[in-house]
Chain A
Amino acid sequence: MRAVRCSGALRAIAWGALLACAAVAARAEAPAALAWIYVEANTGSSSGGHVALRVRDSVYHVQQAPDGLFRIEREEWPTFRYLYAGLGNRTLALAHLDVAEADVERAHQRLARAYVAQQSERRQRERLALDQAWIAAWRAGREPPPLAGAGLLGPAGAPDPDALALRSAVRERFGPSFLPGEIARLDAHAHGLPPEPARGIELRETLLLRETLHALDEAWPIAEAAVLPSQGLLAEPLDAAERAGAARHADAQRDAVLALLGSSRPDRGHALALAAARHQALRRSAERGVAVLLDPYTEVERERAGDAAGPATWAHRADEIAAVLRTGRRVVLGAKSFDEAQYHLLELGAGLYREYARGAAGGPVRKLPRSAIPAAARSVAFRPAADPATLAAAEREARRALAAQDRRLAALYPYGVVRRNCVTEIVRLLNDAFDGEAERALGAELEPGAGFDFVPFAFFGSVTSRLRVAELEIVPSHREREVARVLAGDARLPRRLRESVTFSSSIYTPRWRDGSFLFFTDDVFWRRPLLGLANLGFAAGSLVPGVAAAPFDGGRRARAAGSGLWYSLPELFFFNIRKGTFEWVPSERDGDVP
């Protein structure tokens, strides 16, 4: 990736002293080790800007969650850049620090530990909520919530031929009575467990393992709902090498099933069900000559996106990921040995492709996460032999445990706009990584939230003035890059005027979420108040028809006009927040950032 350097750059005017004060050292093309990132403001929730820390190719940052807590997020650098500089159209400034390699690793370990710890604490809450939900269902006489992973294999229809072959392998390795014996043992264990919240996870694990062993013993096929439909990309034929690879990997999954049957880890039920289901999926891929993949997103709820992109955008995305998937499929299936993480990427990519294709056809698109192991759920009937009073006491205990965990989370991760925000928490973690040696490692120890340093912009000033900054790098926003590209071909006044107005720009398409505005003011300075005044007038003029249209458009135009008014005000005083955003921009993975 090429970056604009601060020296001599027009950006230095906008960034003022921040950029002017920094040293620009020649840096090799090696990947960045440790860099503070300042994300320029834009409309939306972080109008004061945002701060993140890049450690090698990972970016750690803190966001405010809807529950009032802060959440540590981690993205790969290209994804972060794509989201913020691309779709979010915000310029990024990176202050690369002069840090020893061992200190970079210390910082990375500390941040990873904080991230993993928070994930563990949140999972504990989910587990306690599930404990309570199961007991509440028993009390109400309802079926307990569906068991994640139990729906990968289904009892419908005749035994599957590949599952029968797998069962033979299990019987050969463990003996014919192994599966029935284990099922009976697990059944007895489940019924012997007291209905206590503390034993809830053990019960669910036992039931899932029992169901999976049932599936193996009765050679259940993959459940139809657990497989991605063979349409579009997934209907394309595999070549001979891919089919041979699928057969080879199916054997590896058979071996994984045999290994997991000998495992004693408590959560092996899901891994076992998944390996058995993948064994069938890969066998089918080899036999049918098309990719049969499990759906990793069966349990993600369908919610209509409030700012849903248009079909053309989803079609773009479907095309993009289809191209990558075709190539990735050859690599993953053609590999000599099965790599679970890589194979899982195919499942995720295919799941996303299906979602994008649905959006391209005008359907709703769900918020699909980066991490999602196939875990199709199924209700498994189970009711403990307990009287109502015991269940009532158990539910009270479950509620207490859940409330205690909520209090723990609130104590550990409280968000505060001044004292516990995106700046302060990452600073705390970085200081903690060096345990009193931050000055030696970084050049100075920044105090979390000291003075105005809780404000991202002010904090970045402290970074550049106090830490050992080796280089400042500017990653321009998408529009800025595109304007530079367009004007390189035609820099005449009419073209400049056209690109400076939202409605005539060849780069930008107005979006309701950006608010009503007429002129871009992020790339001008002295004219900003004048253009801001024009934007203010335009937004005020949009308000009347917006209010009139409110009964018909749900207030969308009126809200856009209100936002337009609000974000025009700082422009009157030379400050720019609003820059516009994009529904789609091309991927920047291939180093095509100018």
Chain B
Amino acid sequence: MLRRLQLVCVLMALLPLLGCQVISASITSPSDWVSGTGESISGSLSGLLGSSGSGGAGTAQRSYQRDIRAYAAYFANTGGSSQDFLRGLGAVAAEHGVTHWESRPDTHRAIGEGLRDGGVSPAELDALTARATEADPAVLALVREGYAAAR
């Protein structure tokens, strides 16, 4: 009871301050912001050596695959044209420093996983791949592989 009363008093006193972190203020002040960017990039570069840090190549790759998968699932739910899908995919890949995403097999597998997450049925996947007459069969196989492997 005493603790609750104490909390109410504190809340009343601090209500104007209770907002969560505001972007472009405090911790995200310009110098902190760019320092955080440097820390992140340094961590990723250090991670390439496999010595420490969170930014190792494996971590970066998993993060890329997860975001591609998440995007495919999101798109499967929201819909749009195939051109919209490819544009969005390009933007998500670019966030990870990848522009030539077609050359990476993990992109196509992650798309397959995401389609399954997004509720695309096997019959719908068959229909989608049947319509993609100009697509590389190896790419379609990777999408199917990802779809089948998704849990």
Contacts and interface: CB of A to CB of B under 8 A. Distances in A.
Interface of A: 16-17, 42-48, 50-51, 57-58, 61-66, 70-71, 75-79, 82-84, 87-88, 102, 105, 108-109, 112-113, 115-117, 119-120, 123, 201-202, 256, 259-260, 263-267, 270-271, 274-275, 303, 305-309, 313, 317, 320-321, 324-325, 327-328, 331-332, 339-342, 344-346, 348-349, 352, 355-356, 365-371, 373, 417, 421-423, 452, 454-456, 458, 513, 569-570, 573, 575, 577, 583-584, 587, 589-591
Interface in B88-104: 88, 90-92, 94-100, 102-103
Nearest to B42: A324
Contacts, number: 276
A267 B41 CA distance: 26
Contacts of A66: 22-24
Interface in B68-94: 69-71, 73-74, 78, 83, 86-88, 90-92, 94
Contact of A83 (B14, B27, B63, B99): B27
A575 B6 CA distance: 11
B91 A123 contact: yes
B121 interface: no
B10 interface: yes
A591 B86 CA distance: 40
Contact of B70 (A115, A265, A456, A587): A115
A48 B30 CA distance: 22
B32 A349 contact: no
A76 B40 contact: yes
B13 interface: yes
A150 to B, nearest CB: 15
A83 B23 CA distance: 13
A254 B4 CA distance: 67
Given A113-B70, A119-B95, A422 B54 contact: no
Contact of B18 (A48, A63, A575): A48
B131 interface: no
Interface string B92-131: 1011111110110000000000000100000000000000
B19 A313 contact: no
B67 A116 contact: yes
Interface of B: 3, 7, 9-11, 13-15, 17-46, 48-49, 51-55, 57, 59-61, 63-64, 66-67, 69-71, 73-74, 78, 83, 86-88, 90-92, 94-100, 102-103, 117, 134, 151
B19 A373 contact: no
A65 B23 contact: yes
A327 B48 CA distance: 9
Nearest to B63: A58
A77 B54 contact: yes
A70 B21 CA distance: 10
Given A45-B20, A305-B31, A370-B40, 20 more contacts: A45-B19, A57-B59, A83-B35, A105-B151, A112-B70, A259-B100, A267-B87, A270-B99, A275-B99, A307-B29, A307-B31, A320-B42, A321-B38, A324-B42, A328-B48, A339-B57, A341-B96, A349-B45, A371-B97, A417-B15
A71 B66 contact: no
A355 to B, nearest CB: 7
A346 B42 CA distance: 10
B52 A589 contact: yes
Given A259-B103, A345-B97, A64 B23 contact: yes
Contact of A46 (B22, B46, B61, B73): B22
A116 B71 contact: yes
B88 A373 contact: no
B90 A117 contact: no
A456 B20 CA distance: 8
17 contacts: A42-B26, A44-B27, A46-B19, A46-B26, A46-B27, A76-B43, A83-B32, A112-B66, A259-B103, A266-B86, A307-B29, A340-B98, A342-B57, A366-B30, A370-B36, A417-B19, A573-B10
A146 B54 CA distance: 37
Contact of B31 (A102, A309, A324, A452): A309
Nearest to B62: A56
A42 B25 CA distance: 12
Given A76-B54, A355-B34, A340 B45 contact: no
